[in-house]
Structure 1
Amino acid sequence: MLEAEARFRPGSAGLRAELGDRTAAAVPAPAAPPGVSTGEALEAYGAALREDPWLESWPVVLGPVVPVPGDGAEAAWQLADAQGTSALPVSLPQGRSRSGLWRLAALSGGGPVTVFGECGHRGFTPLTAWQPDSPEPVPLV
């Protein structure tokens, strides 16, 4: 965790910033960040899209969600809410290996996890995940 000044770059949505003066030394995060449901992630992306119709994706932390592999080698994966009421399709950029998805499935062990990634018009691209009760992030790319 880092406390610092952020100087946001011109443009929409405030997605780019320069790191300014640090106000404290960096320390490990005590827990995974709180996640939102798949529905809340879509609402946030929709709100950002209304402000900038050309926006490709929106950063979001999902959780708790369960990774659901598709049937077959090329089938689509999903991230389902732990309650099983809704899910987001997983989207990987062209050329990216599915090994991160298998790492996510192994990390979850079939149970819920917290996942950071980008929610966009093609689905959700997972980038980092946390096991329950662990502050240690696990990179998926």
Structure 2
Amino acid sequence: MLGTNIKDAGWPGCGELDIMEYVGYDQEVVHANIHTTAFNHMAGTNKGDSIKVKKPYDQFHIYAMEWHKDKIDFFVDNEKYFTFEKPSDKVEEWPFNKPQFLIINLAIGGNWGGKQGIDDSLFPHRYYIDYIRYYKKNN
């Protein structure tokens, strides 16, 4: 997810929430990450975690995020494995008081996913998504 103010704030100032990241060369690990001006991989201050998931490519799994006013929790199949607690009200640390939009992409290559090269024999490839749901808690 990216902040809807990305055109004004830029990245990572707009905030980024990675509900699920998967890197092909690390096949049984799923990652969750947040990116802000203060906390991001480019500055070496990344906040995130990972969890082992047996053969995540063989069946559907439920990747979830619960966004609260003071923390964000990340789950795989109802198991919470990462919590990012709001460190302060500084927008550099917590830009998540503004709306975000959802991005669904299959990224191939790059500094992380392409670090060990790309196996072109895997193409063409399919990317299956069963469903996406969004819920808003009533106050």
TM over 0.5, shorter chain: no
The two structures have a TM-score, normalised by structure 1, of 0.27
Q: Which protein is richer in helix relative to its size?
A: 1
